[in-house]
C-alpha cells in the first residue's frame, strides 16, 4: 500500500495506540473537532482503545464555551483530543481553567501513524459504552446520555431494516458530527449498512441549503 493508504488505514489505530499509552480503558475522552475526517478517526480511535468518546464542538473565537465547560465539569474527561497543532490555544479559548483541571491534551494530527503497529485489541462487551452523548443545552445545562455498543447496534439495525437501507444507497450529510444525528445517521449508519457516505460542511449548508439537495 502507498503512503496515503497507510495513513488512512492506520489513523484510527494509531490514535488508539496512543490513547492506550496515555489513558486506561473506561476513561473518557473529550472530542473537540470541527466536522470532518479527523473527528471520525478520533471517534474510532477511542473505540479501538476502549475509551469512551465524548463529542463536543470545537469552540471558535467569539463563540460561548459554556456548553463545553458544562460537559467537562460533568463528564470529567481524562484527556481532550483535537486536531489543532497547539492544543494550548484551544485550551485558552475555552477558558474553563477550573473545570479543565489536570486534563491532558492530545493533538491527533501529530501522532505518528506507524504507532498503529502497537495497537492492542481492547476487551469490549455489549454493555461497554460506545458514546457519552450530551444534549444540546439550549434550554438547560447539557445532560449526558450513556450509549452502549448494544444500544447503537440495536438502533442501527432497526433503522436499516425499517427504512430498507442497503449498500446501493448513498448518504449525504451536513449535520455536525458532534450531534447525535450527525454521528449516528451521518457516520455510523452508512458504515453499518455498507453504503457510501458523502460529508459536507455544516457551514456550507447554512450558507446555501440547496447545495445539500443538489
Among 67-76, 81-90, 100-109, top mean pLDDT goes to: 67-76
Separation between Cα atoms, residue 52 and residue 77, nearest integer Å:
9
Grid coordinates in use for 86? 497547539
**Over the stretch 100-112, which tens digit does the pLDDT of each residue have?**
556 788 889 889 8
Q: Please give the residue that has the higher pLDDT: either 26 or 135.
A: 26
Separation between Cα atoms, residue 104 and residue 79, nearest integer Å:
5
Strand segments, DSSP code E, in the chain are: 28-32, 52-56, 79-82, 104-107, 129-134, 144-148, 171-173, 197-199
Separation between Cα atoms, residue 173 and residue 181, nearest integer Å:
10
The yes-or-no verdict on residue 1 having pLDDT over 50 is: no
pTM of the model: 0.87
- Average of per-residue pLDDT across 177-183: 91
pLDDT for res 2: 43
Amino acid at each position: 500500500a502507498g503512503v496515503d493508504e497507510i495513513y488512512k488505514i492506520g489513523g484510527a489505530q494509531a490514535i488508539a495506540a496512543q490513547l492506550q499509552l496515555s489513558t486506561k480503558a473506561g476513561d473518557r475522552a473529550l472530542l473537540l473537532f470541527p466536522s470532518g475526517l479527523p473527528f471520525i478517526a478520533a471517534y474510532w480511535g477511542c473505540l479501538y482503545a476502549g475509551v469512551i468518546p465524548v463529542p463536543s464542538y470545537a469552540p471558535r473565537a467569539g463563540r460561548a464555551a459554556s456548553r463545553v465547560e458544562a460537559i467537562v465539569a460533568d463528564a470529567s474527561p481524562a484527556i481532550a483530543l483535537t486536531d489543532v497543532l497547539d492544543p494550548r490555544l484551544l485550551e485558552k479559548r475555552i477558558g474553563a481553567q477550573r473545570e479543565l483541571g489536570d486534563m491532558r491534551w492530545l493533538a491527533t494530527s501529530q501522532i505518528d501513524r506507524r504507532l498503529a503497529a502497537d495497537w492492542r485489541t481492547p476487551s469490549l462487551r455489549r454493555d461497554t459504552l460506545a458514546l457519552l452523548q450530551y444534549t444540546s443545552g439550549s434550554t438547560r445545562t447539557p445532560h449526558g446520555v450513556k450509549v452502549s455498543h448494544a444500544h447503537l447496534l440495536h438502533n442501527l439495525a432497526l433503522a436499516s431494516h425499517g427504512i430498507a437501507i442497503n449498500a446501493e444507497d448513498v448518504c449525504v450529510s451536513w449535520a455536525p458530527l458532534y450531534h447525535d444525528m450527525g454521528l449516528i445517521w451521518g457516520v455510523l449508519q452508512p458504515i453499518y449498512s455498507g453504503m457510501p457516505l458523502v460529508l459536507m460542511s455544516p457551514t456550507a449548508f447554512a450558507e446555501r441549503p440547496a447545495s445539500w439537495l443538489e
